[in-house]
Structures are given as C-alpha cells and as structure tokens.
Amino acid sequence: MSTKPVSPNVNTTVNSTRSLRWISRLGELVNPVPLRWIVLVPAYTAVLIASRWMAYLLRFDFNVPEQEWLLFARHLWGVITLQIVALGVFGQYSGILGYFSLPDLRRLLYASATSTAVLLGLRYEFVGLFAEPRGVILVDGLLALAGVGAVRLACRVARERFLGTYARRAGPARRVAIIGAGDVGANLVRELHSRPGLGLEPVIFLDDDPGKWRCQVHGVPVAGAPEGLVKFKNKYALEEAIIAMPSAPAKRVAEIVKLLQVEKLKFVTVPAIDQLTSGRVKVTQLRSVEIEDLLGREPVEIETETIRRLLARQTVLVTGAGGSIGSELCRQIAAFGPRLLLLVEQSEAQLFEMEQELVKLGYGEIIAPLIADILDGPRMRAILAQHRPAVVFHAAAHKHVPMMERQPGEAIKNNSLGTARLADLALEFGVERFVMISTDKAVNPTSAMGATKRLAEIYLQALFARHPQGTKFIAVRFGNVLGSSGSVVPLFTRQIAAGGPVTVTHPDMVRYFMTIPEAVGLVLQSCAQGRGGEIFVLDMGQPVKIADLARQMIELSGLKPEEDIEIKFVGLRPGEKLFEEINCSDEHYCPTQHPRILSFGTAPEEWAKVRAALEEIGKDLHGAEPDRLKELLQRSVPEYTPFDGTVATDAIPSQRPAGPLPAKIEEALTPGQTVLATIQQ
C-alpha cells in the first residue's frame, strides 16, 4: 500500500515558527546571560517601581488617598513581575548592553504596550480583584517606556563615551566644518559625536541649499554656503574641513577644494558613494581628496534591466579577470546574478585576490577562478567546452605603450593572435556575444600596442561578416581609466611622495579619463545593445591636460608646483601621441540607444585576407627585428604610422568623426577643437 506525501500546511508552519520564537524568548528568562540579568533586572525593577509611584502621584495631583496607597502596595509586585516578563519576551535581555537603536526601541514599545493592555484587561474583567485607576495604568505604561529606554540609552552612552575604542580623546578636539548637510553629513556628525576619541568636533555645516541655512542637524548649525569660508573660518575657529558630498559633481568638488586651498584649511573627504552604499566602508573612514574626485563626471545612467536580461542565469567568462578593467567587470557582472562567472587570469596572485573579494561580497557560490593563459589553446578550448559560456568579455591584453614598442612581438602575440584564437573558439562553441576591450590608441595608431588592438578589431569585424548568424563580436574603445595599473595617476603619486620631480612627457599632451566603474558600466551597456560587428566608443567627455593634472595632484598633496615639487618635461616616449582621437578616417558614425555610447562602422575586411596577414605576421614573432614586425603590422593596419619622435600639433583640428552628428553630442564628438583650445590657453 503506497502513501502519498502530505504537503505541510503553510499556516501550520508559520504558527510553529512563531511558537518556537516565543519559546526561545521565554527560554531567555530561564537561562539568561548572568551579566545582563545582574545589570538589567535590578535597574528595570527600580525604574518600574518609580514609574508606578510617579503614576499615582500624577493621577491624584500629588495628594494620594490612603486607600489608594494600599492598592499600590497590594498589586505592586504582581504588576512588576508582569512587566519584567513582557520585557524578556520581547528580547530586552538578549541585546548587548552597550547597543541601543530604533529596533530595540520598537521592541521596548511592544513590551510596554502589551503589559499595559493586559493590566487594562484585568481592570475591566476582574474589577473586584484588580481595581487600579485607568489613568494610573496608562501613565505607568508611558513612564515605564521612558524609564527603561533611558536605562538602555545610558548603557549606550557609557560604551561610546567612556568604554569604547574611540571613547577617550588623546588631546583637544580639532574644530571641523562639515561641507554637505545631507544624509551622509548627518550620519558623519552623529558618528563623530558618539566617537570623541577620533578627536574631531563638528561645529558648523556648510551647504549649497539655502533652504537648510539657519537650521540645525544633530545640534550643529548650517551656517551657509561653502563660499562663506572666508568669514566662517575665523568666526568658528575652524581647523579642518570634511567634504561630505560623495554624490556631488566633480566640478563642484573641485571648486570647494580650491576654496579650501585658498583658505589654507586642511581637508579630507568621506568615501565614494558606491563604497558607502555597498557597505564596504563606513562614513567615518575619511581619506584625502584624490585626483579621481576632481576628474570624475556626472553619474552614468545605465539601463540595468537590459543588462540583467542578458547576464542573469547565464554563464559568463571574463579574461584578464585580475586586471583593473577585468576585476571591475567581475564585480558588476556578479551583481546581475549570472549562473556562473568564470574568472580567467594567468596571474595566480591577482586571481586569488579577486576570488577573495568576490567571496567576501557574497558571490562565492557563482564564481569559478581559472588560472589560464589565453594563448594556451588546449586550455582555453577545454574551458569553453566544459562551461559553454553565453557571453565572453575579453579584457586580457598587453597595454603598456613604451614597453610594447620595444618588444612588439609580445603585443602581437597577446593582443592580436590571442584575441583571434579566442574569437575562433567562441564561434566554435556557440558563444552568443564576445566583447573585446579595446582602446582609443587603436585609432590611427602610432604605437605597436595600438596597432595590435586595431588589428584585433579588424579581425573581429571580418569574422562576424563571415559568420553573421553566429557569435556577435563587439569591440569597445575608451581612453585612460583612473586608478588602473600603469596609468599616469599612480606614477605621479609615487613621484610626489618621493619629493619629485613629477615627469610629464610634453607640456601640451592631453588625455581622456574615465573612472573604472563608469567605463565598465558602459561596456556592459554596449554589450547589451550590440548586434555584432560594431565598434563602440565611450563618450569620454573633455580631455585633460596632463601638465594641469600634475599641478592639481601636487596641490592636493599640500605642496606648491615648481616650488616644493618640480615638474619636468621629458619628451614623448616611443609610441606616444600628443593627443588621442575618436575614430579612424574611414569610420562613419551611427547613433545608439545610449547618449554616452557612440558607434562607428566601416566596411569589414575580407576574412581570408585578414587571416593570411595574421599567419604571416605570426611566423617569426621572436626572430624578426622590432622594425620588421612593425612593418608587417603596417601592411595589415594601413592607418598605422610608427612613431618617429615628432609632434604633429597641426593635425589636432582634424580630429572629427565623419558624417552628420546629432546636435546634443556635437561638442562631445569634436575633441580636436577642444584640445586645440586647451593647448592655445
């Protein structure tokens, strides 16, 4: 005789769970933590007795009849026992003494309301046995709530002010102004008040919103706008300032930094908004203002649902997963809930760090760290055959321009041949989308690195044209990313720390800069809207003069350019350009669905011709001279002009995409004019 499994009743399950919760709370009364009982029960008892005594006095206008005092004494311990039990049932003995916040206050309110409701019920049902006045019961409930809450709050204050790590000050507190009276600024002031050991005393807020002026936040007045620093500095004896505007535009942050520098006021800033919202750092983890804070741009609007539909519950592979771009790709992709995220990286140390970070963020179950070199054909074939990824992000590359200029064979092998082989495997194993991270240095390249990236772009376009129903091959170009390994910002930081000089290649050199999260977000957006064969170019805003960048970084360090730190111009290095361009001369502009993503198309080369060129150039990578390899590269990439050491400033105005452009991006797509104006200034 077979029996069918009986499905549990949902209501029964819920009721059982609730019962277990109540039993657990009651168990705390039977087997409590001794210290909490020793401290809390006597304190609560004294407060509750005092509350009932005061309730009687208030009810009878401080002239309590003798019979009412007898009633008070008769029911005192029964009422106190009921209130003590209610506090235990609602978890007032399970919390750590020194911590008390809104959730604890809510449970305390429930306990007080429950005991008051029970007493009122007894008052109406058993009036002969329990005849206390209604006013006494209600007032007692309110006073008990306030008194018990005061006990818990006193424990918290004692922990923060006298017992905590930051409870004691090493010396007099420094008077600081908080710039930004929003949520972040308010949280910062609350934390500084609770941690006097940090040695910072907030005395005023400064905010751009006139509606907040002459108001207070946690007892700290909002004195006015940051532009009033001149008068506020002396009036309030300010010693430091904290910029608490993590979501403010970089332009506004730069203006405030300039004001602080003029007033010679020391300043720091709160962490970035993405770090605060993710919980990776706290608002009190202050840091120096970095050049990234001044070069960043307006937040990019990303269509997350489109990306989620592409990546959710899919197997995604990222090459170069330990690099600057690859690691950020992994972070953002993991947040979209893929079924499996494959981290391909040849550096064991970088892969381990990336794995540990993702595990800490809670993505350990969906990641697979794989040590592999994209040039290892059998290994990559095995990975794709086993996991069958739907999307591949190819970020592995050699990118150091002067180094690749001296050994172009390595750049060709990794950037061109490696990409071609990986693309062939992606097509063979049915990858739906293949996104290669390219560079603006691939446009009319003067470096071997840029030429190898351009050759990889040409190969992907030719391969897609040969198999238009197969894998969608996409390339995404962007400029320098702030904070990436090998970029100019870390180099300048090290040189300033060493006392200089700060080396700049040319006084007129300009570059585009993006933040890594911004660039990766737009890469994901490009992947979602790509149809195959496109070259997407990210709108990188206005170019930055490298000499000005050096001066800003020196000033942020509290030093003066040319006085404390020398700026030394050393000349262009092999392969470097004075400026970067947006598109090749034969590429035409195509509109996209995103205002910060540009698309350029060109007629694809014949696949057989490109394939033959790759085979020829790959025959003698390690035997041929660098100049010979560059000559072979130039045959495959006609726009490649090997570096000869000259600076062609007269070519700058010609940096303009071909074809008509929408008016709203006209300025963004004419960087040549902007660069020329910058140089003339």
CATH classification of the domain holding 473: 3.40.50.720
Domain membership of residue 576 (yes or no) is no
Show the domain range for 352. 306-479+513-541+582-642
Q: How far apart are CA 283 and CA 185, in angstroms?
A: 9
* pLDDT single digits (tens) 48-73: 888 888 888 888 888 888 888 888 88
Which of 261, 289, 317 marks a domain boundary?
A: 289
pLDDT band at 8 (very low <50, low <70, confident <90, very high): very low
Domain membership of residue 113 (yes or no) is yes
Q: In whole angstroms, how far apart are CA 238 and each of 212, 252, 267, 538?
A: 20, 21, 11, 43
pLDDT band at 650 (very low <50, low <70, confident <90, very high): very low
pTM for this model (two decimals):
0.64
For the chain, the domain total comes to: 3
Domain membership of residue 81 (yes or no) is yes
In this structure, the answer to whether residues 26 and 63 fall within a common structural domain is yes
Other CB atoms within 10 Å distance of the CB of residue 616: 12
Closest listed residue to residue 642, CA positions, set 445, 347, 421, 423? 445
In this structure, the answer to whether residues 310 and 183 fall within a common structural domain is no
Residue 483's pLDDT is what? 64
Residues 625/409, Cβ–Cβ less than 8 Å: no
Contacts of 353 (CB under 8 A, 6+ apart): 322
In this structure, the answer to whether residues 201 and 263 fall within a common structural domain is yes
In this structure, the answer to whether residues 282 and 341 fall within a common structural domain is no
In this structure, the answer to whether residues 264 and 159 fall within a common structural domain is no
User: Of all helices (H) and strands (E), which one includes residue 261?
Assistant: helix 250-262
Residue 420's pLDDT is what? 94
User: Which residue type, as a one-letter code, is found at position 4?
Assistant: K
* pLDDT above 90 (res 647): no
pLDDT band at 38 (very low <50, low <70, confident <90, very high): low
In this structure, the answer to whether residues 180 and 158 fall within a common structural domain is no
In this structure, the answer to whether residues 214 and 310 fall within a common structural domain is no
Angle at 54 between CA 52 and CA 55, to 5 degrees: 60
User: Which residues lie across from 405 on neighbouring strands?
Assistant: none
In this structure, the answer to whether residues 29 and 137 fall within a common structural domain is yes
In this structure, the answer to whether residues 140 and 231 fall within a common structural domain is no
The two three-digit tokens of residue 308, written as one number: 């989620």
pLDDT, mean over the chain: 78
Query: Among positive and negative, which fits the CA dihedral 96, 100, 101, 105?
Result: positive
Candidates 399, 413, 441, 472; catalytic one: 441
Q: How far apart are CA 411 and CA 642, in angstroms?
A: 14
Which of 139, 163, 187 marks a domain boundary?
A: 163
In this structure, the answer to whether residues 282 and 357 fall within a common structural domain is no
**Max CA separation in the chain (angstroms):** 113
Active site annotation includes 441: yes
Q: Which of 86-90, 98-102, 429-433, 611-615 has the lowest mean pLDDT?
A: 98-102
Across the range 556-565, mean pLDDT stands at 77
Q: In whole angstroms, how far apart are CA 61 and each of 57, 146, 444, 585, 633?
A: 6, 20, 92, 93, 99
Q: Which of 187-196, 448-457, 612-621, 633-642 has the lowest mean pLDDT?
A: 187-196
Max avg pLDDT among 31-40, 72-81, 553-562: 72-81
* pLDDT above 60 (res 2): no
